[in-house]
Amino acid sequence: MNQPNLMGPLETVIYRRLWRSSRRFRSDLAASKAAAEDSIKPIDPDLNDHQTDRWVPLREATQRGGSAARGVWPAFCVPPDEVAASLLFARIFDEHPELLRSIHEASPIILIDVADRGMLDQLKHVWGRILFPESDRRKIVHAQTARSQLDVVELFVKELPRATDKDQNANIALNAIRAARPLIAMSPMARSHLPEVLGRAATAKIEFPKLDAETIVRVIRVVTGKLVREPVDANLAERITLDDLVIAVRFDRAAAQCIAELKRLSAGKESMRASRDLTLADLHGLGEARAWAQGAIADIKAWKEGRIPWSQVSSGIALTGPSGCGKTTLASVFCHEAGLHLVSATLAKWQSSGEAHLGHLLRCMRQDFEEARANIPSCIFIDEIDSFPERAGVTHRWRDYVVEVVNALLAEVDGIKGRDGVFVIGASNEIGRCEPALLRAGRLEKVVSIRRPGPTELEQMFRVRLQNDLQEEDVSSIAEAAIGMVGADVERVVKDARRAARQDGGRALRICDLRKALAGEDQLPLEERWRVCVHEAAHLIADIIHFGPQDIFASAVRVGSRGGMTWRARPAPVAGILDDYRKHLQVRLAGMLGEELLLGAASHAAGGERGSDLEHATSLAAAVVGSLGLVGEDHITYFGARDDTQALLLFAEVRHAVARELAAASAATRLLLELRRPAIEIIARRLLTRGRVSGDEAAEVLFKLSRSLEENVDVHSGSNAGKS
């Protein structure tokens, strides 16, 4: 049975009042039913229907019931949403007893933010009966209203006021302050909906509490008259709305039936919930980006309460990372949890407005920012911000057009017209292409990179999307095989697995469904699978030798077009010296050289596409030669940015130096692997049979082989010494 916290004095008074009203309703209803049943006439089967009524009118029945029945219909039951609103409102003043005293002794100005519009509607009807049960003088004060005619002033603003309403509301507020009577003002958010003068004059600013398990228990007790004898889960309470209470909690149900109906409603929401309908707690693999969102929500609360100015809120951020890593999802979930009005925009959307003339584009851009300013707190999310390129680099014939568009965006983001209450979030897969001025302080001042998630984060992602499925199964091997995927890929895999289970007779999801959806049918011949294992084993050994065995593993599980991969949870440290970069080059080239060493020739698996081993190695060598100035006096010229490989390789001297660096790294890697050829073969065979080998396991193989070599050397040395 629930053991709720004790109610405060005002909540107790309201609870008892509601309880008595509900009990009286149930008593009247029972008396009316009893009277009606006692007065039913017997029906003569020989009479036709038109000769007599089958039932005595209910009015006559209730009259025969005497004083027990108080009329044809008993009084209305207290609605459950009204009960909840009343109890939560009373609780506010139990938690702030000084406000309750001041309402009757002084003239406080109390601003209450009520995010739930349905709750706000209920409060408009019940709050006065709670604080002033005997008064009928709760009214909006006007200039001509005499102070003696007022006990308290109320101001309810449900919608964001139009410009014409703002002056009227400001006059009402000033007149209320002049009257020196208590003032209760409720709105979704005081900062945006109420006159600014009230914010400055406020005695207290309160955020209305959400429905909780204790309140739900008390609502059921009042409406049904029955005790709730099973605990109400806090997670269930978080998903319940006032409408759910109206549907589930009825006077003609037992308490257990009400709870069962609430669970049914909650389960229905959960089963229909889209995988993207997540909370911040559900978002894994976002690292600093999620931390920023959580901090921003705390800042919003502090700003609403007047504890900090907007200038101290980190309200501009640029998210960068691979496609599908969760940038858009983070923006959507953040806005939902923070209670922000979301405006989504892209350059393509603005360009497609009207006839795509510059004027139409700029007008659409301004409209989106005006919408955000008119609905604070709000957020404007601009996807693909690399569509606004660096102005200095634009040289084509449409340069004036592009520069004017970028300038207009900078002006809007800069906040010349006011940015208080407006977040701006930009997202890009290639942040380096973006106009640098957009990323400076005061605009999108914080740039957060989102990396591809590791095995632990992927496992958490699978768990979130699997919900209640496969709870007893270990999905860590699935997560390890999914290395290189992002959140969108995980969502696709789970969706495909569920589809397979549905199409197979509608059975429950199995772990094999996930494996098949992840990897598909691996129909590679044994020879090709062995090559993949050799390739990854060589990568693993080179990486361990140079950077250690911690937090690294190799996988030969086929995922999509990728045959396998070697992955390190934390990037290997780089002190910035040439030796570090050359070690990374060797690791990149190790797979190709391992194939040559054990199989006689390398395949095309190391190159041919973006993100390949050879592409990474070439880019790294080009950065060392043409941008970082690390390879001697002949190459200390800066030819371009380190990540602009194509621009760097335009210079012949850079290309020649890159070729020399790659050749030297290849020779060093070949020697490193030749000395450890048996280890490559052992690790490759384990990959072939098990699909995965950890860095610690590979390091143990290397250690045992090195000990064996040392012992052989010692034995041979001893034998030769004896002969001599």
Q: Is the pLDDT of residue 389 over 80?
A: no
Q: What is the DSSP letter of 70?
A: -
Question: Cα separations (Å) of 376 from 167, 280, 369?
Answer: 18, 21, 11
Question: Which residue do the tokens 């945006």 mark?
Answer: 192
Q: Are 592 and 606 in contact (CB under 8 A)?
A: yes
Question: Which residue do the tokens 């070599």 mark?
Answer: 709
CA 307 – CA 384 distance, rounded (Å): 35
Quick one: which of 616, 613, 625 has its CA closest to 660?
Answer: 625
What SS3 class is residue 320? strand
CA 644 – CA 627 distance, rounded (Å): 9
Q: Are 84 and 5 in contact (CB under 8 A)?
A: no
To 5 degrees, how large is the angle CA 354–CA 355–CA 357?
105
pLDDT tens digits along 607-630? 777 778 999 999 999 999 998 888
Q: What is the DSSP letter of 639?
A: -
Q: Is the pLDDT of residue 10 over 90?
A: yes
pLDDT tens digits along 267-283? 777 655 554 467 888 88
Handedness of CA 331, 336, 339, 340 (dihedral sign): positive
Q: Which residues are CB-contacts of 138 (< 8 A; sequence separation ≥ 6)?
A: 128, 132, 151, 152, 153, 154
Count of beta carbons in the 10 Å neighbourhood of residue 562: 16
Question: Which residue do the tokens 């194509």 mark?
Answer: 646
CA 342 – CA 331 distance, rounded (Å): 9
CA 650 – CA 658 distance, rounded (Å): 12
Q: Is the pLDDT of residue 594 over 90?
A: yes
Count of beta carbons in the 10 Å neighbourhood of residue 604: 10
Written as six digits, the tokens of 247 are 């549907």
What SS3 class is residue 677? helix
HSE-up (13 A, CA, CB side) for residue 295? 12
Count of beta carbons in the 10 Å neighbourhood of residue 332: 18
Q: Which residues are CB-contacts of 52 (< 8 A; sequence separation ≥ 6)?
A: 43, 44
pLDDT tens digits along 426-457? 999 888 888 888 888 888 888 998 888 888 88
Q: In the prediction, which pLDDT does 57 show?
A: 38
Q: Is the pLDDT of residue 4 over 70?
A: no
Mean pLDDT of the 138-153 span: 56
Written as six digits, the tokens of 401 are 């057009």
Written as six digits, the tokens of 499 are 């589809």
Share of the chain residues as helix, strand and coil, in percent rounded to the nearest 5: 60, 10, 35
**What confidence tier does 120 reach under pLDDT thresholds 50, 70, 90?**
very high
Q: In the prediction, which pLDDT does 404 show?
A: 85
Count of beta carbons in the 10 Å neighbourhood of residue 228: 22
**What confidence tier does 72 reach under pLDDT thresholds 50, 70, 90?**
very low
Question: Cα separations (Å) of 48 from 40, 53, 401, 581?
Answer: 18, 9, 89, 104
Q: In the prediction, which pLDDT does 55 show?
A: 31
Quick one: which of 372, 368, 283 has its CA closest to 329?
Answer: 283
Q: In the prediction, which pLDDT does 63 show?
A: 42
CA 292 – CA 419 distance, rounded (Å): 19
Quick one: which of 412, 385, 426 has its CA closest to 289?
Answer: 426
pLDDT tens digits along 14-38? 999 999 989 888 888 888 777 766 6
Instruction: Report the chain's mean pLDDT, rounded to a whole number.
Output: 82
Question: Which residue do the tokens 């459950």 mark?
Answer: 80
CA 661 – CA 649 distance, rounded (Å): 14
**What confidence tier does 182 reach under pLDDT thresholds 50, 70, 90?**
confident
Written as six digits, the tokens of 171 are 């006059």
pTM above 0.85, yes or no: no
CA 366 – CA 361 distance, rounded (Å): 9
Q: In the prediction, which pLDDT does 60 show?
A: 40
Written as six digits, the tokens of 49 are 């229907």
Question: Cα separations (Å) of 22 from 126, 129, 445?
Answer: 16, 16, 57
HSE-up (13 A, CA, CB side) for residue 264? 10
Share of the chain above pLDDT 90, in %: 31
Q: Is the pLDDT of residue 52 over 90?
A: no
Quick one: which of 632, 638, 704 has its CA closest to 661?
Answer: 632
Handedness of CA 297, 303, 306, 311 (dihedral sign): positive
The full 3-state SS of 475-502, as one line of letters, equals: CHHHHHHCCCCCHHHHHHHHHHHHHHHH
Mean pLDDT of the 324-350 span: 89
CA 708 – CA 676 distance, rounded (Å): 12
Quick one: which of 539, 525, 545, 534 has its CA closest to 684?
Answer: 534
The pairing of strands 692-694 and 422-428 is: unpaired
Backbone dihedral angles phi then psi of residue 602, each to the nearest 5 degrees: -90, 150
Q: Are 139 and 145 in contact (CB under 8 A)?
A: yes
More confident residue, 427 or 57: 427
Written as six digits, the tokens of 566 are 């070697």
CA 723 – CA 414 distance, rounded (Å): 86
Q: Is the pLDDT of residue 559 over 70?
A: no
CA 173 – CA 167 distance, rounded (Å): 10
Q: Is the pLDDT of residue 309 over 50?
A: yes
Q: What is the DSSP letter of 106?
A: S
What SS3 class is residue 517? helix
Please classify residue 17 by burial: count the beta carbons closer than 10 Å to its beta carbon, then call 0-12 exposed, 13-18 middle and 19+ buried: middle
**What confidence tier does 65 reach under pLDDT thresholds 50, 70, 90?**
very low
Handedness of CA 601, 605, 610, 612 (dihedral sign): negative
Count of beta carbons in the 10 Å neighbourhood of residue 532: 25
Q: Is the pLDDT of residue 556 over 60?
A: yes
CA 692 – CA 566 distance, rounded (Å): 10
Q: Is the pLDDT of residue 654 over 70?
A: yes
**What confidence tier does 582 reach under pLDDT thresholds 50, 70, 90?**
very high
CA 240 – CA 18 distance, rounded (Å): 21
Written as six digits, the tokens of 531 are 């090559």
In single-letter form, the type of residue at position 513 comes to D
More confident residue, 573 or 455: 455
